[in-house]
Amino acid sequence: MRRSRAVLAPFQHPAQVIVTGFGAAVLLGAALLALPISTQSGQSAGWLTALFTATSAVCVTGLAVVDTESHWSLFGELVIAGLIQIGGLGIMTLATLFTLLVAGRLGLRAKLFAQAETRASSMTDVRHVVRRVVVFSLASEAIAALALTGRFLFGYDEPFGRALYLGTFHAISAFNNAGFALWSDSLMRFVTDPWICLTVAAAVIAGGLGFPVVFELLRTWRRPRRWSVLTRITVTVTAVLLVVGTLAFLITEWHNPRTLGPLDDPGKLLAAFFTAVMPRTAGFNSIDIAGMYPTSWLATDLLMFIGGGSAGTAGGIKVTTLGMLVFVIWSEMRGEHEVNIGHRRLPETAQRQAVSITLISVALVALSTYLLMALTPHRLDQALFEVVSAFGTVGLSTGITADTTPAGQVLLVLLMFIGRIGPLTLGSALALKDRTRRYQLPEERVIVG
């Protein structure tokens, strides 16, 4: 027993497990992608290229310094797909476990690893949750793969083997919000194809909602009044962002000859909706991101920064964080001492966690944008877009990723890694850390504003 405790001692905090696990996956993926067999040329891609691609895949981002279609071999593409699957399933599983941990269903965090060693009865619930996450993920990917394979097979006359490969790869990439595509133009060639665009968008949304929300919706979709606060916020904010994003891109890009301009009205609506879904944080694009107006870049920045739902494959600060902040501001404007959402009261600890995560994320994005501009010749709007895309694990780019200096690429690697594990580790650390002060200091009012 002493030996077990000694082995487990370095990993008593969830953040250590996440960082260690994802770091190991990135290094293993980089080692595999650095092999000559991973490239079509038969020459090593170089450690920086391999590290950047592996980080982007494990962190389900989609940013790339080389063209996925022409640079990587079949082996390299399979490695990327495997890393995406590991990253997506890993985040969903760990996030769900820590959600249960925070909810108090598993007891103290230190017992998680002790139960793993002793196989205590309460671990049955953990195994059940993990199994449901894996089954849900694989089933969602299989459905998307089937739809995409059929379209490639019958709509584009691809051979069955090729159609199956394309459908499976892009289903994995879509559900896990990775954004890797096997075409140089991402999905621009399918901009007016609703079968492909809507299938990919549906997979992105399903993966980005988060496991707890998805299964609650499956159980109680006919009874919205029974939804939890998490589900209400996630569904409402997600729907609002999709509608607002679609309208914003339609209005801004309607006459842009480089994006929506050449399309007919149904095509413009489909492309605008697809473009509004991707910042959740998938990274596919059906129109030229570099050709968008700066106002659309700014709208995309905001959507990427917010991201998707908690305990899912999406990144960003999460729609739940934004939703809580909206209710906090609304309650403050009304002069209410408590923040109520529906018929539930929002704890003060959750409010502080939302504010902390948001402000830390804003500071990180601002500092990283400054550093990227100092390390590269890119403009402010380009650097900000790239930084938010990396931090939000989105993968959209204005086309400057490959032209970024090696120092800038290292910065983006760090941002992708922090953006993937940062909000989760920070959120779990804040939620699990509860220190009670046995005294209160005198209160003093401070002028605000």
CB count in 10 Å sphere of residue 331: 17
The angle subtended at Cα 237 by Cα 86 and Cα 426, nearest 5°, is 50
Q: What is the pLDDT of residues 13-43, one digit of tens each?
A: 556 667 777 888 999 999 999 999 999 999 9
Return the DSSP state at 338: S
Q: Label residue 188 exposed, middle or buried (CB < 10 Å: 0-12, 13-18, 19+).
A: middle
- In one-letter notation, the amino acid at residue 13 is H
* pLDDT, tens digit, 9 for 90 and up, residues 95-114: 555 555 555 544 444 344 33
Give how far the C-alpha of residue 405 lies from the chain's centroid of Cα atoms, to the nearest Å: 25
Strand partners, 341: 344
Size of the chain in residues: 449
| Percent above pLDDT 70 for the chain | 85
Cα–Cα distance between 326 and 344 in angstroms, integer? Answer: 15
| CA atoms in the 13 A half-sphere facing the CB of 310 | 27
Domain ranges across the chain: 2-432
3-class secondary structure, 6: helix
Tokens of 108: 């103290």
d(CA 171, CA 382): 29
Asked if residue 344 has pLDDT above 60, the reply is yes
| Model pLDDT for residues 277-334, shown as the tens digit of each residue | 999 889 899 999 999 999 999 999 999 999 998 877 888 999 999 999 999 999 989 8
For the stretch 347-371, pLDDT in tens is 888 888 889 889 989 999 999 999 9
Residue 61 CA, chain-centre distance (Å), reads 7
**pLDDT surpasses 80 at 131:** no
Tell me how far apart the alpha carbons of residues 48 and 434 are, in angstroms, rounded to a whole number.
40
Beta bridge partner(s), residue 340: 345
Which residues neighbour 243 within 8 Å (Cβ) at sequence distance 6 or greater? none
- In whole angstroms, give the CA distance from residue 217 to residue 235: 9
* Burial environment of residue 216 by CB neighbours within 10 A (0 to 12, 13 to 18, 19 or more): buried
Q: Which amino acid is at 139?
A: A
